[in-house]
Amino acid sequence: MISEFQRWFKLLVLTISPLLFGSTCGFAQMDGSITGLVLGQDGKPIYKARVHIARKGPLYGSRVLEFHETDIEGKFRISHVPWGTYVVMAGKEEDGYADTTGVFYSNMDVPEVDLGPLFSSADVVVHLGPKAGILHIASITDGITGQKIRNAGITLRRAANPKFFMTASSSVEKILVPSGIGVTVHIEVEGYQPWPPSEKAALENQIRLDPGQVFDLKVKLQPVVDPIAEITRMIHRTLYDHPLEISHGTNLTSPVVPAVEDVQRLRELGGSAINILSTYLQPSANILDQQVVMSLLHNVGSESALNLLDRFAESATSPAVRSRALLWLKVSNRPQDRALIRKSSIEDPAPEVRGLANDLLK
């Protein structure tokens, strides 16, 4: 005879069993499969192409699931894919087909599939091509020493859509580039100025390659130099790389002649160079250095450089420096310089400076 407890237990089992089996069946049906074919630019199947899928989203490339290789017929099958909307990407770089996982290569133009209770499987054809061009990093060198720079950071961007980009190291040497479109190249490495120096220059130097075309990139990077240290070295080089005659240990008997490249560099630095050179007006500055600075200012010859030379003639602590400044101002011969020489002939506290100024006015 069935006890009351047995009848209750049997009723409980009969009640919950459909729920349990129903749930299990439901979970079993919440994934599907994606099958497909990968074709090249010639319409032929690609063997061993790498196929990826990812849930559709603005940055699908960062959430790629596992990859699968195509068979000899270019076909693939991906099973146990949870329901949802997916993008299908592929590539075979050794054959010149860049992986469309990166939006730089795909331009967001990739097939989509939907899996759900009504469509638990999907079939897709992935068309790759045209083949990429090749950017060959022929050489990246120091613009001064000529030494090879290793592991520079390279960024490639679609000129029409700079938000779509990819990065690589120069150690890669060969980088696939989408063919038939404009691509800008940016190179950065610590301790050097970026190349090209501006976005405008990057657009002017963009590359556009045909399928399979190789572009050799040769770039010289200019070191980032501390202007203060650079100008200090320039002054010392100008002072000590020339035979000198020095009177009483402070006065150059003849002006030094700076190197042409140093003068050109000062002109490139512009206002920042003048600001740095103005610090040599301080009473603590070396008197010989001050005389070299004035020679540099005269050779630069810009309005701001000559105006600073005027300040040396008026404000330098050493009479020897003020005298040398007046000699340079005589050569410049601007109206304001002649007026300053006349003023010095009357008001300068040092008689030797007043005497020199009077001689310059004759």
Number of structural domains, the chain? 3
Within a 10 A sphere around the Cβ of 38, how many other Cβ atoms? 27
Per-residue confidence (pLDDT) for residue 223, from 0 to 100: 86
In a domain, 2, yes or no: no
For residue 163, what are the domain limits? 133-221
Model confidence band, residue 45 (pLDDT cutoffs 50, 70, 90): very high
Range list of H helices, the chain: 4-28, 103-106, 199-204, 227-240, 260-269, 271-278, 287-300, 303-315, 319-332, 335-347, 351-361
**In whole angstroms, what is the distance from residue 258 CA to residue 239 CA?**
8
Looking at the structure, tell me whether residues 166 and 231 fall in a common domain. Answer: no
Residue 59 class from Cβ within 10 Å (0-12 exposed, 13-18 middle, 19+ buried)? exposed
Kindly give, in sequence order, each residue whose CB lies less than 8 Å from that of residue 73, ignoring residues fewer than 6 positions away: 37, 45
The C-alpha atoms of residue 19 and residue 350 are separated, in whole angstroms, by: 110
Evaluate whether residue 20 is within a structural domain: no
Q: Quick one: DSSP state of residue 283?
A: T
Q: Say how far apart CA 218 and CA 59 lie, in whole Å.
A: 33
**How does pLDDT run across 220-257, given as a tens digit for each residue?**
998 887 889 889 988 888 877 655 554 444 565 566 78
- pLDDT digit string, tens, across residues 113-127: 999 999 999 999 999
- Mean pLDDT value across the chain: 86
What is the pLDDT averaged over residues 289-306? 92
SS3 of 216, please? strand
What confidence tens digit (pLDDT) does each residue in 148-182 have?
Answer: 998 899 999 999 999 999 999 988 889 999 999 99
Residue found under tokens 């390659």:
209
Query: Tens of pLDDT along 8-34?
Result: 444 444 444 444 434 444 445 689 999
Pairing state of beta strands 84-91 and 50-55?
Answer: antiparallel
Task: Decide which of 35 and 258 is more confident.
Answer: 35
One domain for residues 306 and 215: no
Contact 51, 76 (CB under 8 A): yes
Structure tokens at 194: 């970026």
CATH number at residue 318: 1.20.930
Residue 215 falls inside a structural domain: yes
Query: Do both 247 and 290 map to the same domain?
Result: yes
**6 is a domain residue:** no
Q: Is the pLDDT of residue 196 over 70?
A: yes
User: Which amino acid, 302?
Assistant: S
What is the dihedral sign for C-alpha 103, 116, 81, 34? negative
Domain boundary among 194, 221, 248: 221
DSSP character at residue 131: P
Instruction: Tell me whether residue 196 is in a domain.
Output: yes
Domain closes at, from 97, 127, 157: 127
* CATH number of residue 44's parent domain: 2.60.40.10
Q: Do 240 and 351 reside in the same domain of the chain? A: yes
Alpha-carbon gap, residue 80 to 83, rounded angstroms:
9
Q: Average pLDDT of 303-311?
A: 95
Claim to verify: residue 235 and residue 314 sit in the same structural domain: yes
**Percentage of residues in the chain with pLDDT exceeding 90?**
64
Amino acid in the structure at residue 127? H
Q: Tell me, what's the pLDDT at 11? A: 45
Domain assignment present for 10: no
pLDDT at 112: 95
